[in-house]
Amino acid sequence: MEYQNTINKEFRLTGLGLHTGRTVTVTVKPAPDNFGIAFRRTDRTNIVTQPAFANKVGETSRGTTLGSGRHTIATIEHLMSALHGMKVDNVLVELDGGEVPILDGSARPWLLQLARVGIRQQQSERKVFTLNEPLHFEFEPTGSVFDAEPCDHFAVDCVIDFPKSVIGHQQAEMNDLSEYAASIAPCRTFVFLHEIEPLLHLNLIKGGSLDNALVFVNKELTSKQLKRLAKTFNKDVSNFKVHDGVLNTTDPYFPNEPARHKLLDFVGDIRLVGLPINAKFKIYKPGHKANNAFARYLMEYIANNK
Which residues are known catalytic residues?
288
- C-alpha to C-alpha distance for 94 and 100, rounded to whole angstroms: 10
Instruction: Decide the pairing of beta strands 91-95 and 119-125.
Output: unpaired
Using DSSP, how many helices (H) and how many strands (E) does the chain show?
7, 19
- C-alpha to C-alpha distance for 300 and 241, rounded to whole angstroms: 48
CA dihedral (126, 88, 256, 218) positive or negative: positive
Measured between alpha carbons, how far is residue 265 from residues 13, 201, 250, 277 in Å? 20, 25, 21, 16
Instruction: Decide the pairing of beta strands 190-192 and 214-216.
Output: parallel
Number of neighbours of residue 243 by Cβ within 10 angstroms: 10
- Tell me what percent of the chain is helix, strand and coil, each rounded to the nearest 5: 30, 30, 40
- C-alpha to C-alpha distance for 196 and 205, rounded to whole angstroms: 8
| Extended beta strands in 100-223, E state | 119-125, 129-130, 135-139, 144-150, 154-162, 168-174, 190-192, 214-216
- C-alpha to C-alpha distance for 109 and 288, rounded to whole angstroms: 21
